[in-house]
Structure 1
Amino acid sequence: MKKELLVLVSLFLSFSSFTQSRESEVDRLNSIIQDETVHDTTVVNTYLELADQFYLKNPDTAIYICEKALSLAQEINFLKGQSEAHDWLGYLKKDKGHYDAAVFHFKRSLSIQKTLDDKLSISNTYTNFASVYTKKGKLDSSLFYHQKALFLRQSVGDLNLEANSLNNIGSTYHTKGNLPEALRYYIQSLKIAEKLGDKSSIATGKYNIGFMYNQQGDTAKALSYFLDAKEINEEIGNQSALASNLIHIGHIYSKSKNYSKAVKYTRQALCINNDIGNAYGRANTMYNLGFLYKDQGDLDSAYVYIKKSLGLLQQFGIKNGVAACFIGLGQIDYEKNNLVQAQNYGEKALTLAREISKPEKIRAASELLYQVYEKQGQGLKALEMHKLFVEMRDSLMDIESQKSIIEQNMEYEFEKKEALKQVEHEKEIAISNAEKKQQQLIMWGSVFGLILVTAFVIVLISRLKTTRKQKRLIQKKNKENELLLGEIHHRVKNNLQVISSLLSLQEKDITDEVAKKAIMEGKDRVNSIGLIHKLLYQDDQFSGIKMQEYTQKLIESLSNTFGFEKGEISTNIAMGDTWLDIDTAIPIGLIINELSVNSLKYAFDKERENELEIALTEKNKQLYLSFKDNGTGKKDDLFASDSFGYRLVQSLTRQLNGKLEIDDNDGLHYHLLFKSYKRIKS
């Protein structure tokens, strides 16, 4: 058995393009296999190491070697070796597109791993199952197995593998088109990688986030992340990942029509993939080169490269890539007016994209077919494809995704608020400990003073010096804490402003009025919270807000947003010198925001005199908020609407253990009483 493998490997090396160092490694492994004194378990492990040398350049040879390893491991009842051989065979079969065979080997491996109670190996096999389902387009099944792998890796405390699972889950959500969830998992993975100093995972995290920015059209940020990832992969020598980075850097330059740089980076990627024998990477690179030539108008060269890419991807069974190639070839045939061939490629791409549930590919294929059918005069088919195109385009940027982005930002703001509480708590502890220590020192000084007057004087002077020094340290610490609090509030305000700006940019590209309304309302809520943090760091009063000033600025901002000029609304805000703790100010600020938006949208008319009265007072240990407009609204209409804003007001009222009453005499009048609140001294 051993000599037979040696002959096969030697024959393969005579026709291969292995580097000298790699040939030397293969020779070393062969010598171990041929050594009759080596234990059979070592031979099994060496077979698997040898397969690792071949799987990129010649996967069929790698499969042959793994089958030898499996056969020997079964012969000597080496369970660990059997499990690893099945895993390798499943991985290689999956890459060749033989998914049923891959699942067969992974199931065999999993059964052995459960017998051995090897949790980390079980988690790796779950990940392999997920990769098969991803290739088949069954993304929900893929997520299921990635989540199972994550649970096991967390249970054994392996942070490296936990980060890997988080990244895999993010990638799957990314493929599904759920960008907020993808970003959430990518960031979690990147944080762990940075904590561990794992440069390979850091590079992967930066690459994935860059890919998302590129997909959303922010090429400047995407390029920044791709270049960071490229620098790290060059440093650690990860050639496969480096090639992928170069491809996407080239793609960024192609978007800005800098074709010389785009071709330069893409050809560098092709050279690397050729050197390391990465056939899939070579297919991906040729696909990108094809589109570079297409963008420059060289349709013949583009067709050749995309065709080559298609052949390799079909060989490996990469359906997502095959669909992309069909779309690219169809677009070229459309531009050449080869409508029959363009239709053929478009229909193949659409069938495949639906099979693997890829919204982006369905969108691109339906757009191509819409153009082809329209040019052919097939009006009904063109209309059907146009509807599908619009549906897929809108699904990639739906309202729920926008809401999720806002919720993630709210979660970030909450974490920052908790950090503020922690800083204040540490400040209180420092002061309390210093005071206790001071009292103890004075007491001991008094005791010694009774024994010896001279010692008393000496100790007292010494203690007074120590006390002054401690006081200076406390004052310095307080000042540092205040600066830290101010910086945190400033950063929170800036981050909220960034979110608001992003929502504004998104709003410009949305034509659906329901979506635009949701974005606008979300932006108003973000700005309402951002105003609180702005006032906190501007006034150097980090624990609370002066409500009179806050409400005046909020109403001015909202009035401008809804197009009301100064003087068109008569406002009477009566809150006196009321200062509220931040935990009370945020929900009350959001309530005032929602009620004000409702009045500005539905109650007020520029052709009449508009009045708004807002008062905040304390009565019988309860905080009373009165909000009144002189519009034509009725409370029955408000109750019937079941709007998100009204439900938010009710939820925030309950949060403060409050009660809401409404009457509609001469406009809507809201009466809110809060039992759980905290005032602070100005």
Structure 2
Amino acid sequence: MGKGIFSISFFLLFALTALGQVTKGVLLVKKETDNNLSALLEKLSQSPSDTNKINLLLKISHVYWYSRTLENKAIDSTMLYAGLALELSKTLNFTEGGNEAKFMQCKALLERNQFKDALDIASSTDGEEKARLLLLIAERGVFNFPPDSKEYIQAMPLINQASAAAKKAGSTKWMNECFVLTGKFYFNRGNVACGKRAFMDIIQSFHQSGETENVARTWSQLGTYMPENNNTYRDIIYSNEMAVKYYRQANNLKEAGYSLRDLVIIRGNHGQIVQAEKDLLEMLRLFSECHEPLSITTYYIVSDFYRFNGRYDKALDWGFAGVKAAGDNPDKQIRPYIALGNTYAALKKFDKAIQFYQIVLQYDISKSDRDKYVDCYKIANFMASGGAPKKAFRFLNDFLKKYPTLSVNNRELFASTYGYIYDLLGNQNLAEQSYLEMLRLDQAADQENGKRIGYHLTLAGGGALFIIGKYYTQHHRFKEGKKYLEASLKDPQYFDRDQELDTHKLLFKADSALGNFIPAIRHFARHKALDDSINNLAARQKISELNIKYEADKKSKDIKLLENKQKLQEAVIERSNTIRDVMIGGVVVLLLLATLAFWGFKSKQKINRRLESQQEAINTQNIILQRLLYEKDGLLADKDGLLKEKDWLLREVHHRVKNNLQIIMSLLRAQAGFLQNADAKEAIAESENRVNAIALIHQKLYNNDQIATINMPAYVSDLVNNLSNGLGVKKIKFIQAIDSLHIELSQAVPVGLILNEAITNAVKYAFNGEAGQITISFAKGEHDLVKLTVADNGRGLPENFDAMQNKSLGLQMMNGLTRQLRGVFEISGLGGVTVSLRFKLHVN
């Protein structure tokens, strides 16, 4: 519903012509990798007064700059150490150090909005350094003040002065930086044509001089800085496409990959999903080819792209990978937390979504970041959706009282949130007023987007239309609801899969109520197709596994921290601390087991609710179909509908059984994690394989057209693959000779379990880690008799082995299952072990 992914800003690093006072700097403060302030200050106290000390003072100034918050005094320290670096640079006549010190002083002064003092410093320089500092001051006006402010208006004269200084110094780099900031100046004022013209002048200049890589870089910047709305996004796509083209020509695969990443964002925001995913995969391929490590931003963008398109398993996978890559760095953790918060909200796990976004909100407030309004909007919506509208109302009021906003986009967001909260509280008068206010602000919000550079979350266009259309439809005002919902489909900006899913469901409801049955069926079919693609079994299983893995990793990290703290304790309290840690470990284990049990219970409840919802949808569809088709097909239509309903319900039964078996497997895996005894772990693993053999049958029945019988060649192939992967088989060759047999469920389950036991025993005991071969055959003879054989060429059975007297669980299970099939079970050990089973096939 909102724009899910950030645009990334960076500045040109053009070739330098060294005339006048030279600078190697850019407009960003260098981010130091060595940022341990205590160590740096200790090193400073021991440093002689030379150029190395100047560089150390500047490094400390950089570190303080990036540690600044609203509360601390880091900006004062930034200024202090930059001043010390400047004084020492003057003494040693170290021009480069002095330039960087003045740059840091200007940054600190501008952070306090002391423009006059910053201009005094700029006037004390000349050449490239003067151009750099004047651009720095102008940039502050462009990005931190509204277009009608004095600071913003003064930016253009400063850019012109910087351009004159750069021209006098013969600096192509800083002349082009002046063009870039000129473009940003016009873009932020909403003058897209002038902003675009400034960038095109740079591109034309680089074209004429044959600087292909700089052409690519400027196209990329044009795509980055052009404000995004319904009128400009095609130009942004074209700019990034040109950047990719010229980066490829320059053989810069790394930057081509980053331009593809920008294309993923803009295409995803405007409904070009198929091409966006192609760009995403090509981006990852290029990064792999040029050995570019994935940044935290890339993890975030890929995760949010898949969330945006309803691929929640992939979204969680990339989100957790981003958290792992971020390590303990709070600055890097924020974007993966945003991605995970968005995904958990899409999965209706609002408590988890709020946990992640509370961390993000506190971070953005500490950085005085405008994104805090987006954080507030999301948290309030999550609270309301999670069943606490009163709490959401209080939270939203308190936040806006403390942090009022004039942004039209923010006001539109919060109007929609108030409408949602009032609706949940039952005050329909205020709810409708809020939604109409949201709609009233929509055009102005889109216009505001056309004057803003960088990231924004917006409802402008399809989002606002969907929200008010949903409200009217849910309150049985179907004509009004349909009008807005259909309009939202025509404008796919910021239109994610969850919203599209709900839109077709609501249009099905509206058209049904209005008697438009043919469109209603079309919308229902589209809704069902989207729902199946988003909520399929494999995705749900992956999501469950990722959740369990994340929680387990988190627990492991917490335990490791406790162990590290324990080592620092005094020897006198070591005994009491050990007892305490054991008790904590016991409580953690009990809590984890209780959580798993509760998760299983909630999963069953969710499945039941989904089945009830689908049954209601089936009943509604049947009523509509009967009314449409009865006159043409009479009783035959009823019969066909009932048969279709029967097949559908049977699939859902298999679906539910498979899901419950997956829960059992997850519980078994979790239990094995707390066991120390190797035999117990092995027994758990064998039990998991047996459950998987049954689950695989129900998965086949759910996914295949034939819902009553199992295709044995496909089933045996999947079972062998699962077992070989699970048991770590590398040297064993499997030969499968399976006739084209289809077996009923009542016979498929015991056959699958016997196969599981026979193959597992052969892998574990036949070869002693050496290479070998296992042959599986399943052949049909006369009178519907079939023979299943699992044979290996391993070491065979021990002498005097009696299968009937052997008390192993596996053999007893195979004998018992053979009796269930009313068949004959045999095992022999000549030239390896051969297990065979003969029984009569049930025929429909």
TM-score over 0.5 for the alignment? yes
Maintained 8 Å contact 2:376/2:396: no
Identity of aligned residues (%): 10
Matched to 2:667, the amino acid is N
Partner of 1:589: 687
Give the Å deviation of 1:186. 0.6
Maintained 8 Å contact 1:63/1:92: no
Maintained 8 Å contact 1:287/1:305: yes
Maintained 8 Å contact 1:51/1:62: yes
- Please, which of 121, 136, 148 is the counterpart of residue 282 of structure 2? 148
Partner of 1:58: 190
Give the Å deviation of 1:232. 1.1
Q: Is 1:118 matched up with 2:252?
A: yes
Maintained 8 Å contact 2:393/2:418: no
* Post-superposition CA distance 1:602-642 (Å, at most 9, x none): xxxxxxxxxxxxxxxxxxxxxxxxxxxxxxxxx98666569
Partner of 1:247: 377
Give the Å deviation of 1:510. 3.0
Partner of 2:123: none
Partner of 2:241: 107
Partner of 1:551: none
Q: Is 1:343 matched up with 2:482?
A: yes
Maintained 8 Å contact 2:358/2:379: yes
Partner of 1:218: 349
Give the Å deviation of 1:249. 1.7
Greater relative contact order (Cα 8 A, min sep 6): structure 1 or 2?
Answer: 2
Maintained 8 Å contact 2:413/2:438: no
Closer, same or farther: CA 230–592 of 1 in aligned 2, 3 Å:
same
Q: Is 1:180 matched up with 2:318?
A: no
Q: Which has the higher helix share?
A: 1
Maintained 8 Å contact 1:26/1:50: yes
Maintained 8 Å contact 2:316/2:543: no
- Please, which of 364, 374, 378 is the counterpart of residue 233 of structure 1? 364
Tell me the distance in 1 between the aligned counterparts of 2:229 and 2:818. Answer: 75
Tell me the distance in 1 between the aligned counterparts of 2:475 and 2:667. Answer: 51
Pairing 1:130-169 to 2, within 5 Å after superposition: 130-153=264-287, 159=293, 161-169=294-302
Pairing 1:415-426 to 2, within 5 Å after superposition: none
Maintained 8 Å contact 1:135/1:319: no
- Please, which of 261, 268, 277 is the counterpart of residue 394 of structure 2? 261
Matched to 2:535, the amino acid is M
Tell me the distance in 2 between the aligned counterparts of 1:25 and 1:56. Answer: 12
Maintained 8 Å contact 2:507/2:523: yes
Tell me the distance in 2 between the aligned counterparts of 1:484 and 1:397. Answer: 37
- Please, which of 440, 465, 468 is the counterpart of residue 326 of structure 1? 465
* Post-superposition CA distance 1:305-362 (Å, at most 9, x none): 2242256449969998533322223345557876544332222334556x99843223
SS in 2 for 1:117: coil
Tell me the distance in 2 between the aligned counterparts of 1:214 and 1:194. Answer: 24
Give the Å deviation of 1:127. 0.8
Closer, same or farther: CA 198–543 of 1 in aligned 2, 3 Å:
same
Partner of 1:364: 502
Q: Is 1:405 matched up with 2:543?
A: yes
Q: Is 1:128 matched up with 2:262?
A: yes
Matched to 1:220, the amino acid is D
Tell me the distance in 2 between the aligned counterparts of 1:595 and 1:335. Answer: 44
Tell me the distance in 1 between the aligned counterparts of 2:487 and 2:657. Answer: 38
Q: Is 1:204 matched up with 2:304?
A: no
Closer, same or farther: CA 118–383 of 1 in aligned 2, 3 Å:
closer
Maintained 8 Å contact 1:247/1:269: no
Tell me the distance in 2 between the aligned counterparts of 1:406 and 1:648. Answer: 25
Tell me the distance in 1 between the aligned counterparts of 2:286 and 2:693. Answer: 48
Closer, same or farther: CA 651–328 of 1 in aligned 2, 3 Å:
farther
Give the Å deviation of 1:497. 5.0
* Post-superposition CA distance 1:576-626 (Å, at most 9, x none): xxxx263x333223246568999xxxxxxxxxxxxxxxxxxxxxxxxxxxx
Give the Å deviation of 1:172. 1.4
Maintained 8 Å contact 1:129/1:142: yes
Partner of 2:174: 42
Give the Å deviation of 1:395. 4.4
- Please, which of 519, 525, 528 is the counterpart of residue 668 of structure 2? 528
SS in 2 for 1:509: helix
Give the Å deviation of 1:126. 1.0
Closer, same or farther: CA 336–509 of 1 in aligned 2, 3 Å:
closer
Closer, same or farther: CA 129–410 of 1 in aligned 2, 3 Å:
same
* Post-superposition CA distance 1:234-274 (Å, at most 9, x none): 223332x2221111122134332225325426747994572
- Please, which of 740, 744, 764 is the counterpart of residue 656 of structure 1? 764
SS in 1 for 2:502: helix
Maintained 8 Å contact 2:442/2:459: no
Tell me the distance in 2 between the aligned counterparts of 1:665 and 1:325. Answer: 63
Q: Indicate the larger mover: 368-377 or 148-157.
A: 148-157
Partner of 2:127: none
SS in 2 for 1:37: helix
Matched to 1:167, the amino acid is Y
Tell me the distance in 1 between the aligned counterparts of 2:532 and 2:404. Answer: 38
Partner of 2:607: 507
Give the Å deviation of 1:103. 3.5
Matched to 2:488, the amino acid is A
Tell me the distance in 2 between the aligned counterparts of 1:74 and 1:636. Answer: 70
> How many residue pairs end up in the alignment?
526
TM-score (norm 1): 0.63
Structure 2: gaps (5+ residues): 1-130, 451-456, 558-574, 612-651, 697-742, 767-789, 791-809, 834-844
Closer, same or farther: CA 31–286 of 1 in aligned 2, 3 Å:
farther
Closer, same or farther: CA 232–347 of 1 in aligned 2, 3 Å:
same
* Post-superposition CA distance 1:120-173 (Å, at most 9, x none): 3222211122123213323233233223333444566665x5222222111111
